[in-house]
Structure 1
Amino acid sequence: MRATMSPSLLLTVAITVLLAFAFLGTRSIWDPDEGRYTNVALNMLESGDWLHPMRNEHIGHWTKPPLTYWVVGASIGAFGYNPWAARLPVALAYLACVWAVWRIARRWLPGEENRAALIYATMFLPFGAAQMITTDFLLSAALSVAMMGWIESRYDDPQRSRRWVLLMWAAFGVAFMTKGPPALLPLLVVVACIRLLPAPRAASVFHWSGLLVFIAVAMPWYAIVVHRTPGLLDYFLGRELVARVATSDFGRHGEWYGWLEIYLPTLVLGSLPWTVSLWRWLRSLGASLRSWKSAQTRSEDSVGLILFLWVLIPLVVFCLARSRLPLYLLPLFTPLALIVARQIHRDDRGFPSMRWIGVWVLLLVGLRLASAFWSTHKDAAEWAEAIRARVPYPVTEVAFVEDMARYGVHLHLQARVDKLSLRPIKLDPFDGEYDTDLDTELADLDTDIVFICKQTHWDEIRRNIEARGRTVTVYGSPYQDRILFGVSLPNS
């Protein structure tokens, strides 16, 4: 046995805060995901319309509920147009997850809570995701708090148990406002555990008061926008729920083997440097599964069974669904961190030395700093700087013609962004590929717009614009094989 001292609470907090905020704003916004979320949030902030998520004035962006846009937009409104402000809500969600792990471990593994929190904080996937503007960390934080509320309700006296259940439903409501119906997956875990592990003292999870709290948090926005927007309910149910689960229309590794291709590396690499402890847990599962056939053993090892189901049930659903991305698994790293802490405690192998953890923390911080200097065509700040250097007037709008729209430019240039089709299109009011078409944009031409297209499309686009009686002016040399140009009326 190797006896090691548990890290102090102060040291655990210091390391966690360092990992949350170190170089948080050093890297600029990267498209497409970060650019898309910040763009919609900025459109809310600038228009004052916090109900309707919009890519621009032409088209809505209904793929996710608005909570992520609200908190990102509010943060930018408070702290300015910069990546630090845009990422602050995600960093705070990371801290909330660490706290939830600490709180649950204090209940289940008294004396091990600091270790459990440090395990989560230093896992590679949570650390990496803590600087990515997506819905996933806000969802993970809400679900971690929801499960914490349910776990606490199993142990407290009946009156306080009811309060924990209400917290659980409030957190599920926040999760639903972050990512919609997929946020309720852990409820399947709760139901399975209630059936396998009755807790006589616990308040009923499905009491009307809890459901009322959930409805009050999760439903008003949906009710308002569905009432105001014809066809939106069909879009939510058909496109965003059924199609994402049952089809590969979104091109997100929908092949039968896609779950293995995406989720196995995510679990192995994302759990570094604690993967070996997870492997030891997997090796012990066979014996645990056999022992859980007995109700008495399930009761004696309730923590182990809850953690197993907390990982297994959502993971099975994620594997069966035809839309698969690594960050979908982020909510599972809360139980995985608790599993690692419990496994280390049960193995009696001792906790790694703080010197070793310090080296890993420095490596993580170094990787984050290095990412700020990694050159990529997705860097919205470089696009903004290229536009400033070439265009001789203040730009209020950037229109990408038949090209990937760099929506992150909105934050760095404080200019609206459009994606234009060269040919006339019928706009999808919910989430079409294009924001509008070139004809529509030219009909309402603003002299402060800069257009961008690939060099390979330049001759065709120029001929189309000139055929419409407009004059084209090229600005500077090409940037990343793109032509930057302005459009004006003759003699204007």
Structure 2
Amino acid sequence: MTIVPFYDTSEPRYAEIARVMAQSDDWITPWFSPGVPFWGKPPLSFWSQALSMSLFGFTEFAARLPAWICLLLSNAILIAGLVRLKGPRIAVLTAIVYSTCTLVYISSGAVLTDAFLALGTTLSLVSFAVMAGSARFPSKASGGETAFLYKPRTGSGLWWRYGFFIGLAIGLLAKGPLAAVLILAPVMAWHVLNRKAGSLSTLPWGRGLALAAALSLPWYILAEIKTPGFLDYFIIGEHLRRFLDPGWAGDLYGSAHQRAYGTIWLYWLMATFPWGLIALATAAGALRSARIRCALASTARDPLFAYWLAAALFTPLFFTFSANILWTYLLPSLAGFSVLVAIFASRMERQFNRAGQVLATASAIVPLCVLAFSAIVWVSPDLRNTERGLVQHAMLQSEPSIPLLYLSNPPFSARFYSAGKVREIAPNSLKIAAECSPPFYLAIPKDQQRRVAELLGRRLDTIYSNKRYVLVKITSSGDCGERPLKKAQINRLALDGHLPPPDSDTAAVH
């Protein structure tokens, strides 16, 4: 969270939106760029990241801290609910499995919106489970094994009764209406399959939905009033056209992530690693091992098995026939998956003496891999696309007031690390700026280095380079007199952010 830089595009984009929110004190509309509102996501993650940066500074750690807090809260919810339902052993195993799934572990130290969605869905998931079957009664199951039966209990505590709806409000403010679909689908599946074991009447639906609406709807109304058109783009575009139209070209903030149908299951293997592969391999081993079959059968007899299974499978099933997907979409499904793995692991511990050692080894894989990657990045931070080193190098020169321009749209990491001070310069303005403006630093895409040198008619000495850009210093050639430039032209370039106005203080413009 501290030493890994922001790699373009997702992390620095969200971090820059939160930074602008913190500096502008506009807590209603997230801004994608000056004058362009960001309608792609609700503001809960930006609120928390902006608040964190206001408290701790505009650093990677401050921007990533809220996601880590989300992981802690999600684990606290899982442990509190499952201690009540299944006892402390399965509760702790669930938290271990959940925390060390690849996607969860990475998301807990990243500037993304998905950790907040997962917090909301996990709270709703566990709250309903507690309400549907909080009382635990041992009884003899077939084969002489002790099973647990669940009976709904109305006096399960005010927190769990309304936690479901608070989780719904968190999801609506973190991701939007999709959260309601992901939360309600497992509940409806449970209700259809187990009408007697768990009833929808265990939740205060009227007052609960009113609470969720009171917490979430005011922002939606204010956002539409402040920037009309938000609701149409966000509700219809982001939640329908994005997933139903593989070639949807309406994305205002990037390009569609078009993938082959069914790719979500490949992403599932990545997101659940190593636990997904271990679970599949163990299930395959049931073909040859009676003890594994016994553990699987015992897991399937759990009275809430169908509920946890629905929570684990609905999200990947939902996105199976969607082409515009990311692997982070799977994060809400990993809490239910982790509960199932934990229950199965506890059954395996009864059957195999070394099962605990396998669990300990598996839980160390992802943290050790991420630690190794962090060490590599510490040595070579420009391993991937980031502008941290280039921007810091330009700002730490002996003349820090010299502006930094990009011969392209500045990446979001450049915007964040420069606190929004970097500017873009168009190729057709570059020659005029090089002839008539005060000195400036120029970041040139590596594949355009020769063309820029030919355009300016001079040799360009590289003072820094990273994976994408080379940094050079451009000083006036003194050729302004050969082709006089009208003051209005220079002012127009200055207003576009390409060079300082004539006779102005360069530092002030920077």
TM-score class, shorter-chain normalisation, is 0.7 to 0.9
Pairs within 5 Å for 1:95-114 = 95-110=72-87, 111-114=89-92
Q: 1:193 aligns with which of 175, 190, 194?
A: 190
| 1:373 partner amino acid | V
| Aligned-residue offset at 1:418 | 5.2
| Aligned-residue offset at 1:149 | 1.2
Q: Show structure 1 runs of 5+ residues with no match.
A: 1-23, 286-296, 424-437, 467-471
Given the two structures, how large is their TM-score scaled by the length of structure 1?
0.75
Measured against aligned partners, the alpha-carbon deviations of 1:23-53 in whole angstroms (never above 9, x if no partner) come to: x212122221111011011101111111111
Measured against aligned partners, the alpha-carbon deviations of 1:188-238 in whole angstroms (never above 9, x if no partner) come to: 111221222224676454721111111111111110010222222222133
| Aligned-residue offset at 1:378 | 1.8
Distance in 2 between the 1:29 and 1:332 partners?
26
Measured against aligned partners, the alpha-carbon deviations of 1:331-382 in whole angstroms (never above 9, x if no partner) come to: 2111111111111223333542286368545454333333433433522321
| Structure 1 pair 315–206 and aligned structure 2 pair: CA distance change class (3 A) | farther
CA contact (8 A) 2:98 2:335 kept: yes
| Structure 1 pair 62–458 and aligned structure 2 pair: CA distance change class (3 A) | farther
Aligned equivalent of 1:93: 70
Aligned equivalent of 2:293: none
Distance in 1 between the 2:501 and 2:219 partners?
43
Distance in 1 between the 2:427 and 2:43 partners?
31
Is 2:245 the counterpart of 1:254?
A: no
Secondary structure in structure 1 of the residue aligned to 2:406: strand
Is 2:263 the counterpart of 1:272?
A: no
Distance in 1 between the 2:238 and 2:473 partners?
37
Distance in 1 between the 2:94 and 2:177 partners?
29
Is 2:99 the counterpart of 1:121?
A: yes
Aligned equivalent of 2:175: 179
Measured against aligned partners, the alpha-carbon deviations of 1:41-80 in whole angstroms (never above 9, x if no partner) come to: 1101111111111133332222111111111111111111
Distance in 2 between the 1:194 and 1:283 partners?
32
| Structure 1 pair 269–310 and aligned structure 2 pair: CA distance change class (3 A) | closer
Distance in 2 between the 1:391 and 1:235 partners?
47
| Aligned-residue offset at 1:82 | 1.6
Aligned equivalent of 2:44: 67
| Structure 1 pair 64–358 and aligned structure 2 pair: CA distance change class (3 A) | closer
Aligned equivalent of 1:241: 239
Given the two structures, how large is their TM-score scaled by the length of structure 2?
0.73
Secondary structure in structure 1 of the residue aligned to 2:27: coil
Aligned equivalent of 1:131: 109
| 2:39 partner amino acid | W
| Aligned-residue offset at 1:448 | 10
CA contact (8 A) 2:439 2:473 kept: no
Measured against aligned partners, the alpha-carbon deviations of 1:397-430 in whole angstroms (never above 9, x if no partner) come to: 7553434x3222344333445567669xxxxxxx
Aligned equivalent of 2:324: 323
Secondary structure in structure 2 of the residue aligned to 1:414: coil
Aligned equivalent of 1:291: none
RMSD: 3.8
Distance in 2 between the 1:417 and 1:138 partners?
30
| Structure 1 pair 476–298 and aligned structure 2 pair: CA distance change class (3 A) | closer
Distance in 1 between the 2:284 and 2:383 partners?
38
Q: 1:400 aligns with which of 393, 397, 406?
A: 406
| 2:233 partner amino acid | Y
| 1:376 partner amino acid | L
Aligned equivalent of 1:84: 61
| Structure 1 pair 276–358 and aligned structure 2 pair: CA distance change class (3 A) | closer
Greater displacement, 170-179 / 121-130: 121-130
Aligned equivalent of 2:385: 378
CA contact (8 A) 1:108 1:303 kept: no
Distance in 1 between the 2:132 and 2:174 partners?
26
Aligned equivalent of 2:133: 155
CA contact (8 A) 1:196 1:298 kept: no
| Structure 1 pair 163–284 and aligned structure 2 pair: CA distance change class (3 A) | farther
Q: 1:349 aligns with which of 332, 349, 352?
A: 352
CA contact (8 A) 1:263 1:329 kept: no
Secondary structure in structure 1 of the residue aligned to 2:316: helix
CA contact (8 A) 1:170 1:214 kept: yes
Distance in 1 between the 2:229 and 2:331 partners?
32
Distance in 2 between the 1:376 and 1:299 partners?
45
Aligned equivalent of 1:433: none
| 2:178 partner amino acid | P
Q: 2:162 aligns with which of 153, 161, 166?
A: 166
| 1:99 partner amino acid | A
CA contact (8 A) 2:169 2:213 kept: yes
| 1:35 partner amino acid | P
Distance in 2 between the 1:195 and 1:359 partners?
39
Pairs within 5 Å for 1:380-459 = 380-389=387-396, 392-394=399-401, 399-403=405-409, 405-417=410-422, 452-454=443-445
Q: 1:47 aligns with which of 24, 31, 53?
A: 24
Distance in 1 between the 2:11 and 2:32 partners?
13
Q: Show structure 2 runs of 5+ residues with no match.
A: 135-152, 288-297, 475-498, 505-510
Q: 1:369 aligns with which of 371, 375, 378?
A: 375
Greater displacement, 83-92 / 374-383: 374-383
Secondary structure in structure 2 of the residue aligned to 1:195: helix
Distance in 1 between the 2:446 and 2:368 partners?
43
Choose between structure 1 and 2 for higher RCO, CA contacts under 8 A separated by at least 6 residues. Answer: 1
Distance in 2 between the 1:121 and 1:241 partners?
28
| Structure 1 pair 455–254 and aligned structure 2 pair: CA distance change class (3 A) | closer
Distance in 2 between the 1:113 and 1:101 partners?
7
Distance in 1 between the 2:282 and 2:11 partners?
36
Distance in 2 between the 1:33 and 1:343 partners?
36
| Structure 1 pair 277–320 and aligned structure 2 pair: CA distance change class (3 A) | same
| Structure 1 pair 232–419 and aligned structure 2 pair: CA distance change class (3 A) | farther
Aligned equivalent of 2:229: 231
Is 2:307 the counterpart of 1:306?
A: yes
